[in-house]
Amino acid sequence: MKKEKNHSVSRRDFVGTTAKALAGFMIVPRYVLGGKSQSGSLYTPPSDIINLGLIGGGKQGKILSSYFLKTEQIRFVALSEVYQAKAALTLEKIKSEYAKNPKYGTYAEIPVYNDFRELLARKDVDAVVIATPDHWHAAMAVRAAEAGKDIYCEKPLALTVKEGRAMVNAARKYDRVFQTGSMQRSWPEFRQAAELIRNGYIGDIKSIKVNVGPPPKAYDLPAEPIPEGLDWAKWLGPNEPVAFNAELAPPISKDVYPNWRNYKEFGGGMVTDWGAHMFDIVQWALGMDHSGPVEVIAPDGKDHAFLTYRYASGITMTHEKWDWNNAIHFHGSKGDLKVQREKLETTPASLKDKGIGENEKHVYKSEDHYKDFLSAMRLRSRPICDVEIGHRTASVCNIGNIAYQLNRRLEWNPVTEQFKNDPEANALLGRKMVNEWAIKL
């Protein structure tokens, strides 16, 4: 009897406890448990949330933080930024995103590091998002790979060809997933353009015009007072000291993209800034993701009115202004194709919406650049714009700028990544970096 009584009490307690547990269980939001929503989309359980560190909290970093939060697959656990006012603004933006979207989870305080190496030292950071000026990309990405972090790095991937190759080498050596921020590859108009061209719908490509704006110039801005809260030495990082000017790092009262990209010490002008988008689509469409042109010719006012690239196939590509800004015009033996963000025109017109058959050539399909990166992290696969692809596109831009600078014809070997018989041009494939931040090139 005693045994049965104890058993009865135990069973009653069990039922009561279970009822309480179930009652508590039912008030937990469904997305916490994983599984599928009513729409069929997958919820991400807490165990699968990816912890990101954001390096660079300026305008682009703030934008990227929103895009990554919208995936509902991440949380930001650390920020590195050398301008305190911009760090505060980005944290405020992230916090507001959590407040507006409870499905993102609960906001937790995010520490800010002046030195990105402290962020890399954190064991809870799975991957980093690098959204700094171009002159910092390689120094940060190589160290991130060495620290065992996966990497999302803004385009253009690298300031020089040698820095881009160093990033590829580090990603491969440490087996890192590395996505370049060339998000146009995840947009339908550019995918359609690439597949139409790869399948020969406008015939053999004869010429290509890319309109993306001018090359960079040497830094020549006057000195201005360094604003409070900006660590100017850390902003310069690998670069030799120059005077501060607000064009390089605007105050938060100006919600603009900074103009450091116009100066060759920090960026590659519009040739790399927009070229990293548009030359990238050309490389994709031509199937040249692991190669590049074999010649680049500076404009001479005679035979070559514009900077001209030539591929081994004989296809020529000019850096040339035409009717559409930041756009590409492919001219083929059977028609033409023009593509710009959210705009695609073809001749014949019927090609624009042409369905590509199951047995035809297809490119990697991604409909969300940020989810594609996170998926590649989970699968340990290469994303749509892997580091090698980003490097090859940046190289097209970089060798174009070298031709502009030297003002002559250059022969390029995309296998050795060297100019043929031209020590002066080859000397421009890298640059001197301040010792503290130098990497092996």
Judged against a pLDDT cut of 60, whether residue 39 lies above it is answered with: no
In this prediction, residue 42 carries a pLDDT of 53
Q: How confident is the model at residue 357 (pLDDT cuts 50, 70, 90)?
A: very high
Taken in order 295, 299, 304, 305, the sign of the CA dihedral is: positive
In the three-class reduction of DSSP (H, G, I as helix; E, B as strand; rest coil), residue 143 is classed as helix
Q: How confident is the model at residue 152 (pLDDT cuts 50, 70, 90)?
A: very high
- 434's CB contacts (< 8 A; 6+ apart) are 236, 237, 238, 239, 240
Q: What's the chain's Rg over C-alpha atoms?
A: 25
- 102's CB contacts (< 8 A; 6+ apart) are 29
Q: How confident is the model at residue 6 (pLDDT cuts 50, 70, 90)?
A: very low
In this prediction, residue 35 carries a pLDDT of 52
Q: If we measure between CA atoms, which residue out of 154, 144, 152 comes closest to residue 174?
A: 144
**If you average pLDDT over residues 171-191, what whole number do you get?**
98
| Per-position DSSP letters for 243-255, written without gaps between them | ---TTTS--TTS-
Question: Distance (Å, rounded) from C-alpha 77 to C-alpha 132?
Answer: 18
In this prediction, residue 43 carries a pLDDT of 54
Decide: 94 and 107 in contact? Cβ < 8 Å: yes
Question: Distance (Å, rounded) from C-alpha 136 to C-alpha 125?
Answer: 20
Q: Which two tokens stand for residue 353?
A: 């919406």
Q: pLDDT by residue (tens digit) across 195-224?
A: 999 999 999 999 999 999 999 999 999 999
| Per-position DSSP letters for 86-136, written without gaps between them | HHHHHHHHHHHHHHH-GGG-------EESSHHHHHT-TT--EEEE-S-GGG
Q: If we measure between CA atoms, which residue out of 9, 39, 142, 224 comes closest to residue 439?
A: 142
The beta-strand segments (E) located in 172-288 are 178-180, 205-211
Please list the residues that pair with 413 across neighbouring strands.
418
Pairing of strands 418-419, 409-413: antiparallel
Q: What angle do CA 215, 218, 220 make, to 5 degrees?
A: 130
**If you average pLDDT over residues 109-121, what whole number do you get?**
98
**If you average pLDDT over residues 406-435, what whole number do you get?**
98
Q: If we measure between CA atoms, which residue out of 158, 350, 173 comes closest to residue 267?
A: 158
Q: In what order do the strands lie in the sheet with 316-319?
A: 343-347, 336-340, 327-332, 205-211, 316-319, 307-310, 295-297, 409-413, 418-419
Judged against a pLDDT cut of 80, whether residue 14 lies above it is answered with: no
Q: pLDDT by residue (tens digit) across 245-285?
A: 999 999 999 999 999 999 999 999 999 999 999 999 999 99
Decide: 240 and 287 in contact? Cβ < 8 Å: no
